[in-house]
Structure 1
Amino acid sequence: MDFYMKLPRNKKEFALFMGIVSVNIIAPLITCFESGFHLYVWRDVLTILPFIWLSVIAIVLITYIPAEKMTALIAAKDDSFRSHIVVNILCTVLMMSVFLTVIGTWIGTRAITLEPIQMFFYKWPRNFAISLFVEMCIAQPIARFALLQLHTRLDEKRQLG
């Protein structure tokens, strides 16, 4: 039941889910840890956020199937909804953080250099930890709650109409 009520059922709901989840929190946090918690840093992040959004959507589409396959290898079919979600978040964040540690730096600095690749093993653990915390504790619960509310209302309308 949780799979049906708390996960997107179609492309429109997937877009809503993506709109709620993470980019608005993770990108500014990682940037502020990198450059300092200042208003001008946050303002600068807001100017590049649309480009981060596009890269995140592209990477989600690229990593979706591999993350699902990894999840299936780790979690058994009869495991609980929560265990599937935790494993899926872990697999997704792992893959996305690898790509976005490099691509996000290129977008943020507005330059394609070797620096994010050379500094990868220094920056990736922090980026992974921030992303995993935000996804598990903030973004995913909010997005799943919103989908549960949406599906509950839609199912009530179908039963009445």
Structure 2
Amino acid sequence: MEFYMKLPRSKKEFALFMGIVSIISVNIIAPLITFFEAGFHLYVYRDVLIVLPLIWLSVIVVVLLTYIPAEKMTAKIVSKGDSFNAHIVVNILCTVLMMSVLLTVIGTWIGTRSVSWEPIQMFFHKWPRNFSISLFVEMCIAQPVARFALYRLHLRLDKKTNG
């Protein structure tokens, strides 16, 4: 029942779910990572806000690129009989793993406004922190909010359909 009520049922709902998750994630994760890199200053936050739309677009592209591989990886780890929470946790782990690998490099290029070898050379130094921040935000904030929004939407739609 939770699969039916808390996950997208259509492409339109998938777009809504992805929109909620990505907007929340980008607005929390990008500033946090940047603050850890450049310091907790107002001018740093202002600089993040300037590139945030481009980072958000790159997140959308990376989500679409990693969605199917993450689903396949999730299917290899969990079985159909496992709980909703097991499926969600493993899917978030797989998705965040793939996305954080790509966005550790791409996000640095966007944030610094230059393509260089630096994010690749420093990858193993920076990726664990980026992965941890992203995993926490996805598991504890962004995805629960989006699933709650879909749950409320489905309650309303089902009520409308049933009478």
Which residue of 142, 151, 154 maps to 2:157? 154
Asked whether 1:27 is paired with 2:24, we answer: no
- The one-letter code sitting in structure 1 at the alignment partner of 2:10 is N
Please point out which of 37, 41, 65 is paired with 2:40: 37
Instruction: Please give the TM-score of this superposition, normalised by the length of structure 1.
Output: 0.96
**Cα deviations by residue, 1:2-49 (Å, 9 ceiling, x for unpaired):** 111111122222222122211221111111111111111111111111
Q: Which residue of 2 aligns with 1:15?
A: 15
CA RMSD of aligned residues (A): 0.9
Q: Which residue of 1 aligns with 2:137?
A: 134
Within 5 Å, give how 1:56-95 maps onto structure 2. 56-95=59-98
Distance of 1:61 and 1:140 partners within structure 2: 16
Residue by residue over 1:57-112, the C-alpha shift from the partner in whole angstroms, topping out at 9 and shown as x without a partner, is 11111111110011001011100000000000000000000000000000000000
Unaligned ranges ≥5, structure 2? none
**SS at 2:50's partner residue?**
helix
Q: Does 1:6 align with 2:9?
A: no
- Aligned equivalents of 2:26, 2:12: Cα separation in 1: 18
Pair 1:115 & 2:118 matched: yes
Taking the aligned partners of 2:157 and 2:44, their CA distance within structure 1 comes to 41
Check if 1:145 corresponds to 2:148. yes
TM-score, normalised to structure 2, is: 0.95
Three-state SS of the structure 2 residue aligned to 1:16 is helix
For 2:59 and 2:125, the matched residues in 1 are separated by 21
Identity of matched residues, %: 80
